[in-house]
Amino acid sequence: MPIELPFAPTTVRGRLVGGGSAEGWCGDDGDRDRGREDTYVLAPPYSTDVILTMRDGTDFQALLRVNAGACTSVDEQLPETCVVPDIDDPRHFWAEAGEEYYISVDSPPGSDGRYEFDVSFGWPPLEACDVHPMSITQEPGGFFLWENNLGSGQGRVDGACGGPGLENMFLLEIKEPSLMTVLVESSGLRPIISVRSNCAAASELKCVAGEVGDLPGLFLEHYFEEPGSYYLAIDQADVAGGDYVLQVSFS
């Protein structure tokens, strides 16, 4: 019996005590969501970033979980968000117009505590995404190569192609109009490539998603008409983690 949330900036307060029934993948470590939960439902009239921020009215390790279409995961669909956030650390997800999103605040077994969180809409600050210390600078004929392992767990970048898992997000410095070609090869994760102008999913310019072991790899092209600062996110469609090789070229 979810509580309906208005489509307006809101502060939500409640108390959790007793046993619960809804669980998610991120509760597996120490049964962090076996206690009571409160669930709210949100149906935005237009597509937007939804920003959730736990506030200091929370006096226990609250677990925040967001599921699309149902209060728990169905047909192996992962939650949009499943994390124990720090106080005042904004977490966000991309909500499609007319879809229902179930926002749950869950607790460890034996909890008796109060919680408080803010719901807001629009663009999360750039600081809400982790920008990689390595940046990519566009030069005619330039080439960038990067290899990395993405661990398992919840990430911070979301977009129209999804991406609940951990990601790398690189600053792109575009000096002049140019065509960027991106190739991601991986044998261990379901990669997502996203190009955007900020942290917000609403700023996304293009994205593509692939499957594990796609050959010769996941491919994206994007033409930048204007110089400026952009971002390239290498994300994953699940939370399992894995290796990837990134190649970026400009022409």
Cα–Cα dist 192/126, whole Å:
20
Cα–Cα dist 215/165, whole Å:
21
Place of tokens 């409160």: 38
Residue 23 pLDDT grade (very low, low, confident, very high; cuts 50, 70, 90): low
CB-based contact 121:78 (threshold 8 Å): no
What is the tally of helices (H) and strands (E) in the chain? 0, 18
Pick the residue with more confidence: 25 or 36?
36
Question: Which pLDDT value is given to residue 12?
Answer: 98
Cα–Cα dist 3/184, whole Å:
41
Place of tokens 């090869």: 185
Cα–Cα dist 34/36, whole Å:
7
CB-based contact 38:75 (threshold 8 Å): no
Looking at residue 203, the DSSP 8-state letter turns out to be G
Cα–Cα dist 90/118, whole Å:
9
Pick the residue with more confidence: 250 or 78?
250
Is the pLDDT at 18 greater than 90? The verdict is no
Pick the residue with more confidence: 25 or 17?
17
Cα–Cα dist 37/18, whole Å:
9
Q: Which residues pair with 50 in a beta bridge?
A: 93, 121
Question: Which pLDDT value is given to residue 188?
Answer: 81
Is the pLDDT at 216 greater than 80? The verdict is no
Sequence-distant (6+) residues with CB within 8 A of 74 are none
Cα–Cα dist 184/242, whole Å:
12
Cα–Cα dist 95/124, whole Å:
13
* CATH code for the part of the protein at 3-122: 2.60.120.380
Residues of the chain with CATH 2.60.120.380: 3-122, 127-250
Q: What percent of the chain has pLDDT over 70?
A: 92
Question: Which pLDDT value is given to residue 87?
Answer: 97
Question: Which pLDDT value is given to residue 215?
Answer: 58
Residue 75 pLDDT grade (very low, low, confident, very high; cuts 50, 70, 90): low
Residue 28 pLDDT grade (very low, low, confident, very high; cuts 50, 70, 90): low
CB-based contact 54:85 (threshold 8 Å): yes
| CATH class of the domain defined by 127-250 | mainly beta
Question: Which pLDDT value is given to residue 27?
Answer: 66
Beta-carbon count within 10 A of 6 CB: 8
The gap between the terminal CA atoms of the chain, to the nearest Å, is 55
In tens, the pLDDT along 156-199 reads: 999 999 999 999 999 999 999 999 999 999 878 889 999 999 99
